[in-house]
Amino acid sequence: MEVVIVPDAAAGGELIATAIADLLARKPDALVGVATGSTPLPIYQALATKVRADQVDASRARICQLDEYVGLPAGHPESYRSVVLREVVAPLGLDASSFMGPDGSAEDIVSACAAYDRMLADAGGVDLQLLGIGTDGHIGFNEPCSSLASRTRIKTLTEQTRIDNARFFDDDIDQVPHHVITQGIGTILDARHLVLLATGEGKAEAVAAAVEGPLSALVPASALQLHPHATVVVDEAAAGRL
């Protein structure tokens, strides 16, 4: 695992956007897995800036989603589909046909999860998967104790994650769904390159546990230790416990 310490979130965003630009130069139709939350936003902004400046041709890029809330009505502004379309797909000048994600409003969620894993495999697999990290060490929505071999499936959020994410729902925890679909840890590990970005002091403990602690289902992000090509980019605050 490669750990890169950058001065701040903007520098992390720039570094990772450059890595995605390099990937698209080598493979114009690369499948890029994106994460939600606030941390990766500087990556998407830096990449969109490069596209607008014609420094990268993203016109054939394909984008896929890491996880999704279950039960939000179609088009809800905080469904991860809406977030990815708004924050990534549109700013890169792509349309919804270049995007794939799990169907959180499906009647048969179990089949929707299996269908998404198949979709990713049929698309040739994920070339680069971006990840954030939860304060409890989760990746995607794989909460502590998730199987390290898990595939895309439905999960129940912990109270802490619902509290952390209430800021996207008018600070009202009652609006935060209890259930989610997430790529499993095994699914995530199938990507050819994993890039995790963590910024801010609040992530320092989770980063230290993931990078320097033992491999453990209690810290899902420690699964990156199993991957042959994993890059962890942290700002100085998030590197504070390393």
Residues that bind ligand GLP (CB under 6 A): 35-39, 66-67, 132-134, 140-141, 161, 165
Using a 10 angstrom Cβ sphere, with 0-12 exposed, 13-18 middle and 19 or more buried, the burial of residue 193 is buried
Tokens 């259930």, located at residue: 179
| Smallest distance from ligand GLP to CB 103, Å | 17
Q: Reply yes or no on whether 87 is catalytic.
A: no
Cα-based distances in Å from 137 to 75, 153, 162: 29, 18, 14
Catalytic-labelled residue, pool 14, 136, 164, 235:
136
Concatenated DSSP letters for 73-85?
A: PTT-TTSHHHHHI
Rank residues 98 and 199 by Cβ distance to ligand GLP and give the closer one.
Answer: 199
Least distance to ligand GLP, CB of residue 193, Å: 17
Distance of CA 20 to the CA centre of its chain: 14
Q: How far is the CB of 75 from ligand GLP (least distance, A)?
A: 19
CB nearer ligand GLP, residue 56 or residue 129 = 129
Q: Which of 68, 103, 138, 193 is catalytic?
A: 138
Based on CB atoms, which residue is closest to ligand GLP, 19 or 80?
80
138 in catalytic set:
yes
Q: CA separation (Å) from 10 to 49, 103, 203?
A: 13, 32, 16
Q: Which tokens hold the place of 196? A: 């995790």
State the catalytic residues. Answer: 67, 136, 138, 143
